[in-house]
Amino acid sequence: MQKFVSFLENNLSGPMARLSEQRHLQAIRDGVISALPFIIVGSFFLIFAFPPLPDAGVFGDIKQWALDHQTEILIPYRVTMFIMSLYIAFGIGYNLAKSYDLDPLSGAQMAVAALLLTVTPQLIDGQGWVLPMTNLGGHGLFVTMVVSILAVEILRFCKKRNITIKMPEQVPPSVARSFEALIPVAFVIVGMSAITVWAGLDLHHLIGVAVSPLVTAGDSIFGVLIPVFLITFFWSFGIHGVSVVGTVARPLWEMFLGNNAEAVAHGQVIPHIAPETFYQWFIWIGGSGATLGLALAMVFFSRSKYLKALGRTSIVPVTFNINEPIIFGAPIVLNPVLIIPFVITPLVTATIAYVATATGMISPTYIMPPWTLPAPIGAFLATGGDWRAVVMVFINIAISFAIYFPFFKMYDKKMVKVEENEQQAA
């Protein structure tokens, strides 16, 4: 076992963990996370605009009122989740500049400017200049990452080469920082204008074509199962799997979510199966490894005093998707008995949920509720009020319990013997 762990640590776990700590990937991760409050709150206005209510009676009147006022109700969504890339650009620029010990506000503002310059304003008769918003949402996430990093790298290059305007020491720091950023800002504005305005290149289309195979693969069944396996694999050795895999995959997941929300807002077919909300509510029921089934087994069927006490202590946090007490308390980490169901269970529930969504048995997710909600509530909200999603959650909980149970009984039997030996020794 020790040789196997060492092999995986040296050949997979270690390199992947180091990859997740790479400066630019960390900035992207932190930038996306910084925008989550706007994405979560903004997405709920889709529920208000399309309330999951029956058509009859007073509920029908509420539903009709929402339909009549849909345009006004969706305005908060359109200036938050619908243009999520704008918030993410600010976050990426801020965090990357901060990692270089540059002025983070200058980095954030330059990243936003670079993104806006990829969107060409249009002159519409009677309305003046109009800025199209579509590419400021999920569609523009890959362009956002590229131009945000480019803007900060230009700032760093100018700072390193002293291509800045130096102000006397008597000048207030805020004013001095503004003048230091003047030349880098000019480079960004002129450079991006040369690409998108004068050369007429559509970066969103070009990068969209380049990453289309990645988008297609990420929304496939294998695109779901591979990150699920990697997340549980890393957790099995004490490495926070979501932090490692999410650093790479989260931008793609957020793009899927944004595209799904846009489709609902425009009355179109929801295009993607696997945004991050799909993983959260149908796979990670009780946290990574779908450990709610294990917690239930501990509470109701454990003969070991320690495991029963652990189950009673952890059942509430696991219900709210916080399962570190079980992962490190059972423990699952480096436990050859419990690692097996910890990896297998989410692969099974992911397959079932994917097939159910792909065949139309449950609606795809397009809303991001807070991840600490119990899974049935979160799934109901994430699908815009699809009661079948709740049934899917309970089916997956039952599957989780069934897969964990025989391995749990083996481990419980072992723990009982350990406790009996300790009592005899005492």
Task: Read off the pLDDT of residues 187-215 as tens digits, 9 standing for 90 and up.
Answer: 999 999 999 988 888 898 888 888 888 88
pLDDT surpasses 80 at 13 = no
pLDDT band of residue 12 (cuts 50, 70, 90) is: low
Q: Show the tokens assigned to 14.
A: 């270690």
| Of 80, 343, 65, 367, residue with least CA distance to 225 | 343
Q: Given this model, what pLDDT does residue 11 score? A: 63
Which residues, in sequence order, are bridge partners of residue 122? Answer: 130
pLDDT tens per residue, range 360-371: 999 999 999 988
Distance, in Å, from the CA atom of 347 to the CA atom of 228, rounded to the nearest integer, reads: 7
Instruction: Using alpha carbons, list the distances in angstroms from residue 84 to 105, 133, 209.
Output: 19, 10, 21
Provide the 10 A C-beta neighbour count for residue 231. Answer: 26
Q: 410-417: long-range contacts at Cβ-Cβ below 8 A with a sequence spacing of 24 or more?
A: 410/337, 411/307, 411/330, 411/335, 411/337, 411/338, 412/301, 412/302, 412/303, 412/304, 412/307, 413/303, 414/337, 415/304, 415/306, 415/307, 416/303, 416/304
Tokens 């960390």, residue located: 26
Show the DSSP H helices in 283-385 as ranges. 292-301, 305-319, 324-329, 339-358, 375-382
Q: Given this model, what pLDDT does residue 123 score? A: 83
Distance, in Å, from the CA atom of 61 to the CA atom of 112, rounded to the nearest integer, reads: 42
Tokens 């559509």, residue located: 202
Show the DSSP H helices in 221-304 as ranges. 221-236, 241-265, 276-282, 292-301
pLDDT band of residue 4 (cuts 50, 70, 90) is: low
pLDDT surpasses 60 at 38 = yes
Provide the greatest CA pair distance for the chain.
90
pLDDT surpasses 70 at 331 = yes
Query: 280, 292 in Cβ contact below 8 A?
Result: no
3-state secondary structure (DSSP) of residue 124 = strand
pLDDT surpasses 60 at 34 = yes
Q: Show the tokens assigned to 269.
A: 């077919």
Would you say how long the chain is, in residues? 426
pLDDT tens per residue, range 255-272: 999 999 999 988 899 999
Distance, in Å, from the CA atom of 287 to the CA atom of 263, rounded to the nearest integer, reads: 29
Q: Given this model, what pLDDT does residue 354 score? A: 97
Q: Which amino acid is at 8?
A: L
3-state secondary structure (DSSP) of residue 128 = strand
pLDDT band of residue 164 (cuts 50, 70, 90) is: confident
Check the CA dihedral 293-248-26-141 and report its sign.
negative
Q: Given this model, what pLDDT does residue 2 score? A: 58
For residues 268-289, give the mean pLDDT: 93
Report the chain's mean pLDDT, rounded to a whole number.
Answer: 89
Provide the 10 A C-beta neighbour count for residue 176. Answer: 18
SS3 content of the chain, % helix, strand, coil (to 5): 75, 0, 25
pLDDT surpasses 90 at 61 = no
For residues 276-296, give the mean pLDDT: 93
Check the CA dihedral 390-384-359-54 and report its sign.
positive
Peptide bond into 331 cis (omega under 30): yes
For residues 112-119, give the mean pLDDT: 94
Residues 6+ apart with CB under 8 A from 169: none
